[in-house]
Amino acid sequence: MPLKWFQCSLIDKPVPIEHCFNCHHCLTLPTLKMMADERAWTGRPSTTQLLNGTMLEFLKITRDYTIDPQKKAFALLGTRHHEELAEVAHGLGLPAEIALSPDGRDIYDLLEPENGAWTLSDYKTWGSYRMVRALGIVKVGKGKDSKFMVNESQKDTWESEMQLNHYRVLLEEHDIKVGRMQVQVTVRDGGLQIARTRGVKDNIYLIPIRRLNDNVVMDYFNRKHWMLVDSLHAYETNPDYLPLPCDNRESWDGARCRGYCEVAEFCPKGMMEQKGVKE
């Protein structure tokens, strides 16, 4: 079951997408078309799907759901950002925006030659709040004597580590040696006061990504693959079936359920989080 409705800002209720395509009084038709472009389920989950919670992806496949175009604005900018950088990379003769799977999924952003190997890069657009976690920025002291420092133990780039290491393993299966990995992050609110008060001073950051053990990476993705596939098989015989809810990491400690999940209304944990009820 696909994305079926847009949340209409004019009448404050869900409207069938096809109706929006004929109306488009709130946004241009190309904008709405891009926002409605969701990949159909092919039977094989992508890397990004497997990094999400099984419940989230299960519900997006088995339920008709709604998105709010206003909440997709920055994702749209991120897509355009990728496309423009890929176009420049192709002009330089660099491999970019190439799928590692036959069905067009698992798309890496850029490979650059370096010291007899390749550097694998991924482009991200994050807000300063997420940058604080990724960089491990902490504020020390109070008042005028306070300053920002980096606490290595506070750094959290787990999702990017898993994503890029999965791409690396897939590339190396095709005899493409990856030497380094990194994410280039454009800070969505970079240069604004809110970012500066969090210790995020620059607008673009290059963050190195550590190499993980291949078995650890593949065990995770294989486990998540079968969790989703087996859940969909169970749903075929039992339409009331639901997999386990997203864990704390996948649900961003509940924040994703409360404001960033398109299918929270179908999920017991999502509904409780939105009502302010903790499990």
Statement to judge: residues 248 and 208 lie in one domain: no
Distance CA 55, CA 77 (A): 27
Can you state the percent helix, strand and coil of the chain, rounding each to 5?
45, 20, 35
The residue range of the domain holding 128 is 94-212
- pLDDT value of position 224: 97
122 and 184 Cβ atoms separated by less than 8 Å: yes
Nearest to 108 by CA among 54, 169, 52, 157: 169
Q: Say what the pLDDT of residue 14 is.
A: 83
Q: Among 169, 185, 212, identify where a domain stops.
A: 212
Neighbours of 268 (CB within 10 A): 12
The whole-number pLDDT of residue 162 equals: 97
Q: What is the pLDDT of residue 34?
A: 80
Q: Across the chain, what does the average pLDDT equal?
A: 90
Read out DSSP for 138-197?
EEESSGGG-EEEE-GGG---HHHHHHHHHHHHHHHTTT--EEEEEEEEEETTTTSHHHHT
Which residue from 249, 228, 241 is spatially nearest to 57, judged by alpha carbons?
228
Q: Does residue 59 lie within any of the structural domains?
A: yes
**Does residue 85 form part of some domain?**
no
Q: Give me the pLDDT at residue 199, please.
A: 93
Residues 113 and 197 in one domain: yes
Q: Are residues 114 and 201 in the same domain?
A: yes
Please say whether the beta carbons of 160 and 124 come within 8 A: yes
Look at residue 79 and tell me if it is in a domain: no
Q: Say yes or no: 110 and 203 in one domain.
A: yes
Are 230 and 170 contained in the same domain? no
Question: Are 124 and 184 contacting, i.e. CB atoms less than 8 angstroms apart?
Answer: yes
* Domain count within the chain: 2
Query: Which of the listed residues 212, 246, 271 is the one where a domain comes to its end?
Result: 212
pLDDT at site 103: 82
Q: Are 148 and 210 in contact (CB under 8 A)?
A: no
Please identify, among 188, 212, 236, the residue that sits at the C-terminal boundary of a domain.
212
For residue 270, the model assigns a pLDDT of 87
| Antiparallel, parallel or unpaired: β 117-126 and 107-114 | antiparallel
Same domain for 144 and 190, yes or no, is yes
Per-10-residue mean pLDDT of the chain, 279 residues long, equals 75 81 80 80 91 96 87 80 91 94 89 96 94 92 84 93 97 95 95 93 96 97 97 96 94 89 91 73
pLDDT at 213: 97
β-bridge partners, 96 = 110
Task: Quote the DSSP letter at residue 267.
Answer: -
Q: How far is CA 109 from CA 96, 156, 236, in A?
A: 5, 21, 36
> How many CB atoms neighbour CB 216 within 10 A?
10
Round to whole Å and give the CA distance between 26 and 20: 9
Note whether residue 275 is domain-resident. Answer: yes
Same-domain pairing of 16 and 116: no
